Every structure is written in C-alpha cells, then in structure tokens.
C-alpha cells in the first residue's frame, strides 16, 4: 500500500476488485452509491493508514445530523448500511494485509428502531382479495399471501416452475431492477431455491389462467399483457395506488408478513414457515416474527392447563 493512499482510493479498489466480482449487480450499485454519496465526500481524503474509530464514529453522528443534501439527517437504518459497508471494506483491507486492524470495529452504528410490521388477519385478507377480483393485481397478491414469496420471486416465476397436479411450485430465480434495466437473479442461498406447497385456492387460480393462456414452459406466470416482465417497482406503485384508493394500509411486501404471521399463529412449526419464506435459517424467522410469539406462549399455557386438568382429574 502506498503510505498516502486515501480511503476514497482504497474504496474504489475494493469496489472494483472485491465487490464487483462477488456480489450481484443490484448490490454492487448499492455499494457504489453509498461510497460515492456518503463516504467519499466526508471521509474520502483521510489517509487509510491514519483512519481511526473516533473519526468514523464522528462521521456517523454527522450523517445523522446533516447527511442529506437537501437538509436534515439520514435515518439510523441508512447510517447502519454505511457502517456495514465500511466495516466490510476495511475488513478486506486487513485480509489483504493493507491494514493491521479494522478501525470500523471500534465504531458503533446507530440503533435502528424496530419497524412496525403490518399484516392482515383473515378478515382483512378476505376483504382485500374480494376488492381485487377482476384486477390484474389479484394473482400476484394471491400468490404472495398464500406462499410468502417475495415480489421479485413472483415476477420471475415461469410455468415450468409450476406443478398443477402436484400442487406445488419451485422458486428458482428473482426479477430485480438495476440501473440498466431488469435482470433475473438466482436466490442468494440454497434455502432460497425451494419448493412451496400450494393452497387449493391458488392451484385453482393458476390452473384457470394456464387453461386460458395455453402458455409455453418458459413463459412468465405474472407478467405484462404482452408477456414481458412486469417491473417490480411498477407492480409496487400500482399496488400502492390501489391500496390508497380502497383504504387498506399495507405494502406489497406486507403480504409476505401476512402469510408468515398467520401460519405462526395457527401453530405451524417455525422451521416449516422458514422453509416457505426461503430464510437462510429458522433463527431469522424467529427474529423477524417475534411479535407473534407472545400470543403463542399464552395459547401454549392454555393447552398446558387443559392437559393438567385431565391429568389431575384422572
């Protein structure tokens, strides 16, 4: 390493030689945006060898106070993203033997308040689907609510992935938007590539659509009228417009939460819910849906009461 190499110079090297070959296009664009917009203008001129934890901690505080170009501070979540990237990049500098230690290890990202999760109960979901009947949004909403699939996974689903007779489908890819357009991407983990058993209502809807379209195996299931991919952001905008007009208060992603929350409340094992969602491990499911567990604890206690009443009566 040149003794005068700055943090900005190193981060460009890291982006080109580590990030670009090892992450997807969308993630790379996100990394580059954070480097160019947040880190380089504030810490870029600091010599890499002289970067200290206190400088990084002060940098985070400044971002929280006045990190926005149009005035105001960045959110704790955004600053946490900056911290994760900087820590990851400097960790690589240690592995490359450019640095002896990682100065970002001595700085703390701001605490991010847990965002309130919105999930529909059975009545709410019933009302939403009834309101959507006849709308092109009906099928993606139904699939999301009955499988827990992500928006991009639904929009990348092809007919060869759907087994009508077996009442199941395979999640094999995701559709995402990048600066140059749309791209299909394979799941991040092995658990992301998964099979999901389908509810009869979803099977019936897919069968009716297949019978009406007579699609080829590689045709997309949920797409534009001309068969081309439906951009994920466009789907979200159209869903938001519909939701705002009809008085519901959820995002498209909340349909995934609706699916998981209702399954957990019905006593479906966490590992099964985790498999349907494609989480890397059940611990992630437990962390995300911990708000559902208190009610489940009360139900468990009630079942223990029933069991003990029978035991003591015998």
**Confidence class for position 294, pLDDT limits 50, 70, 90:** low
Which residue range forms the structural domain that includes residue 232? 122-253
pLDDT for position 296: 59
pLDDT in tens, 139-175: 999 999 999 999 999 999 999 999 999 999 999 999 9
Q: How many domains does the chain have?
A: 2
68 and 132 assigned to the same domain: no
140 and 237 assigned to the same domain: yes
Torsion angle defined by CA atoms of residues 162, 232, 176 and 250, in that order, rounded to the nearest 10 degrees: -90
Q: What is the mean pLDDT of the chain?
A: 91
86 and 202 assigned to the same domain: no
**Confidence class for position 69, pLDDT limits 50, 70, 90:** confident
Per-residue pLDDT at 135 exceeds 80: yes
Per-residue pLDDT at 203 exceeds 70: yes
Domain boundary among 220, 236, 253: 253
Share of the chain above pLDDT 90, in %: 74
Question: In terms of DSSP H, where are the helices of the chain?
Answer: 7-14, 20-22, 25-34, 40-43, 53-66, 76-95, 122-132, 138-147, 151-155, 200-213, 232-246, 254-265, 270-277, 282-288, 293-313
Per-residue pLDDT at 291 exceeds 70: no
160 and 247 assigned to the same domain: yes
pLDDT in tens, 79-118: 999 999 999 999 999 999 999 999 999 999 999 887 777 8
pLDDT in tens, 231-281: 999 999 999 999 999 999 899 999 999 999 999 888 888 899 999 999 888
**Confidence class for position 288, pLDDT limits 50, 70, 90:** confident
91 and 197 assigned to the same domain: no
175 and 74 assigned to the same domain: no
91 and 150 assigned to the same domain: no
132 and 239 assigned to the same domain: yes
CATH number at residue 217: 1.10.443.10
Separation in Å, CA 217 to CA 155, 163, 198: 15, 11, 19
64 and 89 assigned to the same domain: yes
Mean per-residue pLDDT for 127-134? 95
Per-residue pLDDT at 295 exceeds 80: no
pLDDT for position 188: 75
pLDDT for position 190: 77
pLDDT for position 302: 72
């Amino acid at each position: 390493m040149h003794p005068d190499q700055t943090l900005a110079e190193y981060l460009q090297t890291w982006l080109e030689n580590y990030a670009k070959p090892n992450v997807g296009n969308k993630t790379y664009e996100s990394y580059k945006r954070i480097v160019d917009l947040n880190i380089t203008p504030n810490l870029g001129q600091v010599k890499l060898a002289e970067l200290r934890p206190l400088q990084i901690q002060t940098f985070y505080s400044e971002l929280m106070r006045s990190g926005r170009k149009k005035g105001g501070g960045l959110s704790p979540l955004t600053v946490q993203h900056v911290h994760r990237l900087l820590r990851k990049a400097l960790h690589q500098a240690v592995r490359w033997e450019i640095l002896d230690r990682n100065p970002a290890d001595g700085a703390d990202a701001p605490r991010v308040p847990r965002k309130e999760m919105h999930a529909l109960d059975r009545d709410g979901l019933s009302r939403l689907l009834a309101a959507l009947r006849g709308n092109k949004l009906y099928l993606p909403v139904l699939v999301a609510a009955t499988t827990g699939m992500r928006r991009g996974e639904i929009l990348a689903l092809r007919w060869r992935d759907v087994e009508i007779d077996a009442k199941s489908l395979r999640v094999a890819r995701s559709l995402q938007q990048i600066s140059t357009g749309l791209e299909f991407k394979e799941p991040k983990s092995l658990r992301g590539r998964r099979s999901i058993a389908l509810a009869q209502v979803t099977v019936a809807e897919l069968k009716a659509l297949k019978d009406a379209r007579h699609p080829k195996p590689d045709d997309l299931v949920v797409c534009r009228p001309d068969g081309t991919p439906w951009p994920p952001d466009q789907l979200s905008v159209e869903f938001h417009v519909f939701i705002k007009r009809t008085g519901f208060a959820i995002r498209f992603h909340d349909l995934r939460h609706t699916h998981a929350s209702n399954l957990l409340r019905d006593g479906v094992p966490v590992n099964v819910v985790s498999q349907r969602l494609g989480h890397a491990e059940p611990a992630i499911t437990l962390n995300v849906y911990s708000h559902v567990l208190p009610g489940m604890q009360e139900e468990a206690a009630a079942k223990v009461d029933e069991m003990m009443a029978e035991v003591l009566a015998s």
